[in-house]
Amino acid sequence: YLFGEKKATDVAHLLWKHVIRKGDTVIDATCGNGNDTLAMANMVKDEQSKGCVYGMDIQEDAIKNTSSLLDVSLNPIERKCVKLFPICHSRMAEVLPKNSSVRLVAFNLGYLPGGNKTIITKSDTTKLALKAVKELLVPGGVISIVAYVGHPGGREEYETVQSFALELPIKSWVCSQIQMLNRPLAPVLVFMFKR
């Protein structure tokens, strides 16, 4: 049931629902067309409007697409709880309020669907961003990564993610992944839970 015919991103959303609480602060490190940002906004929104999503993408087009999707999908009060930044995710700490407690940070790696396929996430900045996330995440929080191994550079980036996870101490982190063995080019889902 968990994987079945579902897309990797749908499986990631299923897990997020078990982690995110109303009123949480979460980060979408790769907004793209905004589907993940919207899913997060719907999970954190609460009556006191404490829940907040910080979204970022290096492409202005992606920020525009995300903003348009949120504008038509959320009411004005909910929309205000999502803040979008046209920056590299390695700089996320610069845009978050000081001492933020973040429950979930999601990366959906690769290129913007329907956009320029040569603008992709890169191993070195992905690694820098993961290092930044380590410091922001609250205990009980999760880093969620969808890594695509089918495009040039994708497998290398996945291996960077994998070695980052392998180096996390088992006392404070639980790392796991979901992979389709009979579809070797399907995206790999990596989860890093902070104890």
Strands (E), 58-136: 82-85, 102-108
| Cβ density class 96-116: b for 16+ within 10 Å, e for less | beeebebbbbbbbbbbbeeee
Does the footprint of ligand SAM cover residue 144 (CB under 6 A)? no
Does the footprint of ligand SAM cover residue 24 (CB under 6 A)? no
Does the footprint of ligand SAM cover residue 104 (CB under 6 A)? no
Binding to ligand SAM (CB under 6 A): which residues in 113-142? 119-121, 125
Pairing mode, strands 188-194 and 137-147: antiparallel
Longest Cα separation, the chain = 46
Using CB atoms within 10 A of its CB, is residue 185 exposed (0-12), middle (13-18) or buried (19+)? exposed
Which region among 24-32, 43-51, 167-175, 177-185 touches ligand SAM (by CB under 6 A)? 24-32
Number of Cβ atoms within 10 Å of the Cβ of 14? 13
Does the footprint of ligand SAM cover residue 157 (CB under 6 A)? no
Tell me the per-residue interface mask from 44 to 83 with ligand SAM, x by CB under 6 A, - otherwise: ------------xxxx--x---------------------
| C-beta nearest to ligand SAM: residue | 32
Sites of contact with ligand SAM (CB under 6 A):
30-36, 56-59, 62, 88-89, 108, 110-112, 119-121, 125
